[in-house]
Structure 1
Amino acid sequence: MRYSASKYRRRVVAVVVVVASLLLATGCRDSRHIPMKDGRPQITIMVGGLEKVIYLPAMLTERLGYFADADIDVQLLGEQSGATAETALLAGDVQGVVGFYDHTIDLQAKEQCIQSVVQLADVPGEVQLVSAQDAASITSPADFRGKNLGVTSLGSSTDFITQALAGQEGMSTEDYTRVKVGAGQTFIAGMNHDGIDAGMTTDPTVAQMVNSGEARVLLDMRTEEGTRAALGGLYPAASLYMGCAMIDAHPEIVGKLASAFVRTLGWIKAHTPEQIAEKMPAQYAGGDPALYVQSIRDSIGMFNGDGVMKAEGARNVLDILGKYSKNVQPVRDRIDLSKTYTTRFVEQAARAPQ
């Protein structure tokens, strides 16, 4: 059976139209695409908890006007789970994520290339809290067996770190129960209503629960000393990470983002917790400005000031995930850390005249 050239072309066009329609229907997006408006890049960044102090530089950069100074328009979206944020990035729904660096390693294990372009902190900024009623029976991770332990979500960074803490005591996830409790009020509700015995969270939730007497600090990873004691070394955490294809396609725009964040890190080092709190949205204080200032004071030392990843820290994250992450462990020897972060943009920002 033969077709004329015109019929053949019509059939090809029809197939192309159908395929294009299917791609649109399934939400397929170009992972390198950055929308433009009036000549300015339109960047959407998902933050794993806008009100969390560990991610404070994202909103602070906006409030200081540094995104505008860099000639880019940035929309910040809040999402309590880093695992959900990475899904949005891979789907092309956002151009960047402010979340934990360890996701870049976990995703490489799944054959996805994501890079930290600004490393905001060398430590997690996380605290393992134990409920006041369980404080006598849980005095270290060795007591995790048989307990309900709160994490932001399964596959989140709090989940990774919890597995590492339990793993150091010879336990696997079969020995305790991981409970998804999110952050903020859902975490507090979980601990106060016997949903969890202990859990990992950040300020301002930490300050609120400790001050009220509802919980006690079991492990404090807001400092380098506390992090090294808990995890055997640095654990670089809060970062701006983006897809490798996006970075390669738009280095100038990525450089502008990095410059804005580095300016903010410098500003943080030069100002007091009170001055920082004044710049943040009033609702972040939750009606208690003094508590919010305390939260910033307790956590602010985690930010490194220059945005540069420390190679020692990256190696320690891989070592931990290689032991305790079911995704990374089978392929840890194939993980290329050089593809999980880059320092070139923050180094360029440091050299640029201020």
Structure 2
Amino acid sequence: MKMVIQKLAAALIALAMIAAPNVGLTSAWAQSKVTIAVGGGACLCYLPTVLAKQLGEYEKEGLAVDIVDLKGGSDALKAVLGGSADVVSGYFDHCVNLAARHQELVSFVVYDRYPGEALVVSPKHTGEIKSIKDLAGKKVGVSAPGSSTDFFLKYLLKRNGVDPTSVAVIGVGLGGTAVAAMEQGQIDAAVMLDPSVTVLQGNHPDLRILSDTRTGKDTLDVFGGEYPGGALYSTAAWVAGHDKEAQALTQAILNTLGWIHSHSAEEIMAKMPPEMVGKNKELYLAALKNTLPMYSQTGKMDPKGANAVLAVFSLSSPDVAKANIDVTKTYTDKFVDRARKTTGSNAK
């Protein structure tokens, strides 16, 4: 009898060991898989997307999210258009720009109230470049050609009477590669974002910034109003066919925005991957503190901001100017409205 009981116990243990992984697999299979392409994950403008994963917000909403970190927004966009990613975490202005080519992209949750871009002069060329007009014939870095940093540069050049074709545009990324290119004088200037701008300022206190959109006031000076930056967007077909996933992503970002606005910069930094924070934690923290007001508290698109994006692109792109774009078709607030109505949101 004792041997029978021992055999039964061993059999039960074996069954439990076999069943355990199956339970995990069932749980994993129940999750919807979504791949998000990010155009430079270390950039603070994309922090909510990365932080949501660090906080486990995607998992809470039933999503298995894979974040693919790419060099620039144009590369992230290509990943979605090419089918290797589902959603872009990038700048809303791509949705407007692509509308001129009859490619329907839809933003469904906004996490940046303004772009956070700055046109900065290389420390080695401060003496010769004192205004945007001085960039004619120079080499200017952007994250990647065709990215939002490139759009921003072309807008500023045209606005200041400089022919964009007279400037050599060079892709240098957004992080350490951009800082190195600037410090080594490989380029004359660059459109950069934090934390890279703050890192460069820490090393070069006399750093010359020709245009800045890292605060609401600066954005107002440059664009005349709020100008939405980072958002989650995808093709209109994906958004229409993946209502559940788009809703879950929206809720995860809203929860993360709420968490951001209810915690200190130090607490936020502690949650970020160490490789994104980098070795100089003090400069990263300083940049983060400066960036916090940039993050949306609602997740909604400002209609005036969307119109401002269209106006800027109409000025810098003849194709956009003559396309008669209905900008309201490039974004939707329905997922944000639904999230706040049905489950509430931690975002203020």
Give the TM-score category using the shorter length: 0.7 to 0.9
SS of alignment partner, residue 138 of structure 1: coil
Counterpart residue type for residue 102 of structure 2:
E
The alignment status of 1:100 with 2:91, answered yes or no, reads: yes
**Alpha-carbon displacement from aligned partner over 1:4-60 (angstroms, at most 9, x marks no partner):** xxxxxxxxxxxxxxxxxxxxxxxxxxxxxxxx9522210000111111111000111
Query: Distance in 1 between the 2:245 and 2:168 partners?
Result: 43
1:222 counterpart residue number: 214
Structure 1 residue ranges (4+ consecutive) displaced by more than 6 angstroms after TM superposition: none
Question: In the TM superposition, what is the alpha-carbon distance from 1:260 to its structure 2 partner?
Answer: 0.6
Counterpart position of 1:346: 336
- Cα distance between partner residues in 2 of 1:279 and 1:327: 43
Q: Aligned with 1:38: secondary structure? A: helix
Verify the 8 A CA contact 2:74 2:144 in the aligned structure 1. Answer: yes
Partner of 1:157: 148
**Larger mean Cα displacement after TM superposition, 200-209 or 216-225:** 216-225
Contact 1:268 1:305 in 2 (8 A): no
Aligned residue number for residue 58 of structure 1: 49
For structure 2, the 5+ residue unaligned runs are: 1-26
Paired position in structure 1 for 2:3? none
Counterpart residue identity of residue 343, structure 1: D
Question: What residue in structure 2 maps to residue 9 of structure 1?
Answer: none
CA distance in 2, matches of 1:352, 1:139: 53
Mapped to 1, the partners of 2:165 and 2:54 lie a distance apart of 44
Q: For residues 121-173 of structure 1, what are the alpha-carbon distances to aligned partners after superposition, in whole Å with 9 as ceiling and x for unaligned? A: 12101121112232243333233222221111211101111111111112221
Residue 21 (structure 2) aligns with: none
TM-score for both structures, normalised by structure 1: 0.86
One-letter code of the match for 1:223? Answer: T
Partner of 2:160: 169
Cα RMSD after superposing both structures: 1.7
Could you say which residue in structure 1 is the equivalent of 2:8? none
Residue matched to 1:306? 298
Structure 2 counterpart of 1:231, one-letter code: F
> Could you tell me which amino acid in structure 2 is paired with residue 132 of structure 1?
P
Number of residue pairs matched?
317
SS at match of 2:284: helix
User: Measured at CA, do residues 190 and 63 of structure 1 come closer, stay the same or move farther in structure 2, by a change above 3 Å?
Assistant: same
Which sections of structure 1, spanning at least 5 residues, go unmatched? 1-35
Query: What is the correspondence of 1:185-204 to structure 2 with a 5 Å cutoff?
Result: 185-204=176-195
Partner SS state of residue 328, structure 1: helix
Deviations 1:226-263 (A, max 9, x none): 01212333221100001111111121221111011011
d(CA) in 2 for partners of 1:51 and 1:149? 21
For the Cα contact (< 8 Å) 1:60–1:280, is it kept in 2? Answer: yes
Q: Is 2:78 aligned against 1:87?
A: yes
Query: Is the Cα–Cα contact under 8 Å of residues 285 and 291 in structure 1 kept in the other structure?
Result: no
Partner of 1:289: 281
State the shift of 1:201 in Å.
Answer: 0.9
- Identity of paired residues, percent? 33
Residues 313/163 of structure 1: CA separation in 2 closer, same or farther (3 Å cut)? same
Structure 1 contact 210–217 (Cα < 8 Å) conserved: no
Question: 2:327 matched to which residue of 1?
Answer: 337
What is the CA–CA distance in structure 1 between the aligned matches of 2:211 and 2:310, rounded to whole Å? 21
